[in-house]
Amino acid sequence: SQQGEEDPQALSIQEGENATMNCSYKTSINNLQWYRQNSGRGLVHLILIRSNEREKHSGRLRVTLDTSKKSSSLLITASRAADTASYFCADGALWGNEKLTFGTGTRLTIIP
């Protein structure tokens, strides 16, 4: 299956700034999820947005979904050094819906 792509591949910002990561996918989706991975560790679920939703918030996270453009964005506001990690989107296809397809990830570095 085809993987989604995150943009940019790597992002470095100063602590306190906002970080925006984008994700594109190729199929019609049921939902899209964002995960975080600290270096050398497993992934941790951050947020899920369904195909009939356009925006969702969780703490300092804001996710948007544009199904017409097959894209999603993750915004982290007021970044902290502890936000340094890789961030992955994963789309759940509308058909054959038992699997998630993960993107290639954005490596985020927060500079103290």
Partner 1 sequence: DGGITQSPKYLFRKEGQNVTLSCEQNLNHDAMYWYRQDPGQGLRLIYYSQIVNDFQKGDIAEGYSVSREKKESFPLTVTSAQKNPTAFYLCASSIAGTSTDTQYFGPGTRLTVL
Which chain residues interact with partner 1 by CB under 8 A? 1, 3, 30-31, 33, 35, 40-45, 48, 50, 88, 90, 92-93, 97-105, 107
Q: How far is CA 111 from CA 9, 29, 70, 100, in A?
A: 17, 35, 31, 32
The pair of three-digit structure tokens given for residue 101, joined into one six-digit string: 């397809």
Q: For the chain, how big is the Rg over CA atoms in Å?
A: 13
Between 43 and 74, name the residue whose CB sits nearer to partner 1. 43
> Minimum distance from CB of 48 to partner 1 (Å)?
7
Between 14 and 48, name the residue whose CB sits nearer to partner 1. 48
